[in-house]
Amino acid sequence: MARVTTTPEDRPEQTGESEVLAAAAEVVDDVAERELQPQDVAAMDHLDSPRRLLLVHAHPDDEAIVTGATMAHYAATGALVTLVTCTRGERGEVIPAELAHLEGDGAALAERRTAELAAAAEALGVADHRFLGADAGVVLTDSGMAWGEHGRAVPAPDTGPEAFSRTDVDEAAGHLVRVLREVRPQVLVTYDPSGGYGHPDHVHAHRVALRAVELAAGAGGEGEPWQVAKVYEVVLPEGVTRRLLAESRDANPFEAVDPDGVLPPMVLPDEEVTTVVEAGDRLEAKAAALRAHATQVEVRDGFLALSHGVGQPLVGTEYYRLVRGTPVPDPDRGDGLESDLFAGA
């Protein structure tokens, strides 16, 4: 913006309101002439949303499986929902026979899964998605896994040194710090320390997310420090899980889970679960997002299954454990659980 200057001889006498207007014009000029950094502009845009939720997941499809209803619920209610995915899932197993040629072709599968993720995010109503490190030109790669006992994942025997699970925690967290300071979420969601079922990338995503929350609140690095008010881990209550598995066993079109057997480590005693998001009205959005991940997930008759063929009920209720922040139980529930991730944030 060009600024016109005048000499005292050229300028009429200014008093009262005219002096105030002149001073305001000077301020406007100063602001207009200042070049804002792109991250500053983005941060200002994000602050237009009073509630901001950020989720950290390891691969495309993880977001829909365990937090899809939650994401769709908050997106529909006007919150800014930001999804950070750590890898592109280059080493994932492929379910459909017609897409089997993608398995083992890291670049092709990554491209396919990136497209699937974009479709899934659209189904959930989520517009803000980033791959971790992409803003710095970094590509973090899938570590791979193998299936162990009781449906648990174990590290792949040929995990390479470039794999996400082998990256330095602070280095990877530094990429996430930039996003946290830009988006400034009140709430962050990620896996529990076991990664849900043991996948090494899930475990590492948990470590990276919690370290990034710590670093983002301190001095140093790019952007202004930001304190995340509440951090949640995705979990399941044991009582509810076993009951649901028992009730749905006969209807399961896939291999059924023994409701009395060993369950994944993300299944906790009921009293350790702090929060429930009941979003049954967003179940169809979650199902649509899961169908978008056609290489990884099969959805049939109200159930979903991964490559190991074990079915689990498709539900719109998702559970969490609060690990940072103060719980605010919903008094209307009567069970001591929170019903809103943002309560007290």
pLDDT of 146 strictly over 90:
no
Q: Which residues pair with 255 in a beta bridge?
A: 310
Q: What is the mean pLDDT of the chain?
A: 89
Mean pLDDT is lowest, of 25-29, 120-124, 242-246, 295-299, for 25-29
| pLDDT number for residue 169 | 98
Model confidence pLDDT, tens digit, residues 161-174: 889 999 999 999 99
How many independent structural domains does the chain possess?
A: 1
% of the chain with per-residue pLDDT over 90? 79
The answer to whether residue 228 is domain-embedded is yes
The answer to whether residue 164 is domain-embedded is yes
Taking CA 276 as the corner, what is the angle to CA 250 and CA 207, rounded to the nearest 5 degrees?
100
CA dist 80 and 185 (Å) reads 9
Q: Show the domain range for 185.
A: 32-324
Residue 136, exposed/middle/buried by CB under 10 A (0-12, 13-18, 19+)? exposed
Q: Which domain CATH number covers 248? A: 3.40.50.10320
pLDDT of 48 strictly over 80:
no
CA dist 225 and 182 (Å) reads 10
| pLDDT number for residue 8 | 38
pLDDT of 275 strictly over 50:
yes
Average pLDDT rounded to a whole number, residues 40-59: 78
CA dist 312 and 344 (Å) reads 33
Model confidence pLDDT, tens digit, residues 280-314: 999 999 999 999 999 999 999 999 999 999 999 99
Q: Which amino acid is at 330?
A: D
CA dist 18 and 12 (Å) reads 10
The answer to whether residue 7 is domain-embedded is no
- For residue 152, the tally of other CB atoms under 10 A from its CB is 18
The answer to whether residue 135 is domain-embedded is yes
The answer to whether residue 246 is domain-embedded is yes
